[in-house]
Structure 1
């Protein structure tokens, strides 16, 4: 169920309690998806993650080099996340990173769990593809305004670099600086933030 900010704010507290707030529906430029209400944080409190798989050219992921046609029209975050996790599960790369920390963090993300009410977030969360991440950067101001209204200012998108699930080559993947929307590659051993997304049809509450 999706609500505008005004619809949500006009509801009584009793009616709101029937729902959990997992994120914000993004609809822009003929695309739509859900962006999680907060960045991933690991059990130790770390807010950045390595991509993993350094030195591995992942079969099933298309390599997008500079100027590669279609690079900015990649909206296959779920498919990418599935392949990355399956390929790198338990595998130590040449620099010592095990698995796919960024993709695994995105998939394990939970917006909310209210066990006492029998409500939990069963959404399939993914590491966004570059196209999804670029839309988030482009509309960061609007997203942050709504995130602040709905979830509090601690949940805004920061000005840091965020990982995409779009691969450049065996050693690098694409990321986006949320300070200015700049797109660049970083080595898979670099640390970046993770903001999960979900396809509309995989949102399940």
Structure 2
């Protein structure tokens, strides 16, 4: 007896269904909609333009807000009793400070007081004082040891701003250079954050590269973190690296 075969498309058509083409992005969104719990703890933050009230919505809800003219200030990460807003864009080629100028010329280098300072890796990995660190780094800037302009990591973050149509939001002075522990939070949620960033108009993705932290080691060096493999490293402050400002769920 012969086996009868039938095209899947014909069978679907006969049953009132159809095969449709779908883009990779559409398929990813459909899958994520069914496994949304994997993205719990990650939101998109903005100040609502009608009353400048701070809100944070689930990533898959953001499109309608953005289409109505709302401006995303960042990706809100809530984890382990802490929260952190990750900026939609970042700085590149930023030095930590203007001194030292090289490994062979460390004259004029300054160990800035008020900044978490340690050569112990585990102590550094427990530093969540990014905001206080950044304030101290900015206040410690001098004409001979500059840290407070946009050319430098802390200065870039301090001057960063994201505002709505009314000019309200996370304005300059409300952002800081993340501490090493805060950078670890970003690394641990790298894919979640990048997915959220992909939904924000004009945002740039986190890179699998190294980023400056505000955690200091000495007069000449500070800690950084590689977001590809979690490598925690000591770097001279004259090195040029990436900087991703962070903030909080603030008015």
| Cross-structure match for 1:66 | 120
List runs of 5+ in structure 1 lacking aligned partners: 41-46
SS at match of 1:119: coil
The normalised TM-score by structure 1 is: 0.81
CA shift for structure 1 position 189: 0.7
Residue of structure 1 equivalent to 2:25: none
List structure 1 segments (4+ residues) > 6 angstroms apart after TM superposition.
Answer: none
| Larger RCO: 1 or 2 (CA < 8 Å, sep 6+) | 1
Structure 2 unpaired stretches of 5+: 1-54, 101-108
Q: Which has the larger radius of gyration?
A: 2
Using the TM superposition, give the Cα deviation of residue 102 of structure 1 relative to its aligned residue in structure 2, in angstroms: 0.7
Partner of 1:182: 231
1:11-90 equivalences in 2 (<5 Å): 11=65, 13-14=67-68, 17=69, 19-40=70-91, 47-52=92-97, 53-54=99-100, 55-67=109-121, 70-88=123-141, 90=142
Question: Which residue of the partner structure matches residue 144 of structure 2?
Answer: 92
Q: Is the 8 A contact 2:93 2:241 kept in 1?
A: yes
Give the Cα separation in 1 of the matches to 2:183 and 2:88. Answer: 14
- The equivalent of 1:44 in structure 2 is none
CA RMSD of superposed structures (Å): 2.0
1:142 correspondence with 2:192: yes
Relative to structure 1, the CA distance from residue 169 to residue 146 in structure 2 (aligned partners, 3 Å threshold; closer, same or farther) is same
Aligned to 1:161: 210
Residue 156 of structure 2 corresponds to residue 108 of structure 1: no
Aligned length: 183
